[in-house]
Amino acid sequence: MLVLSALSAIDDRISGLEAGGDDYLVKPFSFSELVARLKALIRRSQADDNVRELRVGELTANLATREAMREGRIIALQPREFRLLTHLMLNAHSVVTRTMLLEAVWDYRFDPQSNVIDVQVSRLRRKIDGDFDTPMIHTVRGAGYMLSDRLPDEQPQSAQPQ
């Protein structure tokens, strides 16, 4: 998604990108720059189609076989759990909000005011973290969730909540 906006302050651009934008272009802009940015977005999306496996530390998700493994052990996941895991892996080391999860995993464009996300994350956490020493799914209070192979205090500054 390319955000076109007249709002040019750095906070506005950051908000646009954190809200899900892949790029941010401030008006006025040249048509040639718009075309170049659109072509770049298309190239990036096509490159993602070739990805067959996601990896975060010792956790892998094979997109072709829909199989998850951690430290060589297969983790049985339901289809929704696998979608949730892959979305968290695609955003590894970054906070993923409830709204982002609702849109990406459940295809909701509104908040149904239910605990469906909490329940699914809890189930996924038991499967991904349950038999292992280091947890990978972290709750970021007031913000959402983060999947990382590092402990919360080892996260890069950009991944920690502000």
Rounded average pLDDT over 127-142:
92
Residue type, 44: R
**Residue type present at position 48:** D
Residue 11: CATH number of its domain:
3.40.50.2300
The answer on 129 and 71 residing in a single domain is yes
What pLDDT score does 162 carry?
32
pLDDT at 28: 87
* Predicted confidence (pLDDT) at residue 156 exceeds the cutoff of 60: no
39 and 11 within one domain = yes
Stretch (H or E) spanning 110:
none
Collapsing DSSP to helix, strand or coil, 160 comes out as coil
For residue 73, give the 3-state DSSP assignment.
strand
Judge whether 22 and 41 are in contact, CB under 8 Å: yes
What are the pLDDT digits (tens) for 113-134? Answer: 778 889 999 999 999 999 898 9
pLDDT score of 157 = 43
Domain count, the chain: 2
HEC per residue, 112-132: CCCCHHHHHHHHHHHHHHCCC
Residues 34 and 68 in one domain: no
Token pair for 152: 């919360």
**Rounded mean pLDDT, 92-103:** 88
Query: What is the predicted pLDDT for the residue at 29?
Result: 81
Q: What is the mean pLDDT of the chain?
A: 83
If one compares 145 and 36, the residue with the highest pLDDT of the two is 145
Paired tokens of 67: 């199989």
- Its domain, for residue 105, covers 53-159
Query: Alpha helix (H) ranges present in 49-155?
Result: 79-90, 98-105, 116-129
Answering whether pTM is above 0.85, one says no
Q: Where are the beta strands (DSSP E) in the chain?
A: 2-5, 23-26, 53-56, 59-62, 67-70, 73-75, 137-140, 144-147
- pLDDT of 25 > 50? The answer is yes
pLDDT at residue 110, as a whole number: 62
- Does residue 65 share a domain with residue 30? no
The pLDDT of residue 56: 94
Q: What 3-state DSSP class applies to 87? A: helix
Give the mean pLDDT of 139-143: 89
Q: For residue 126, what are its two tokens?
A: 């038991």
Q: Output the pLDDT for position 87.
A: 92
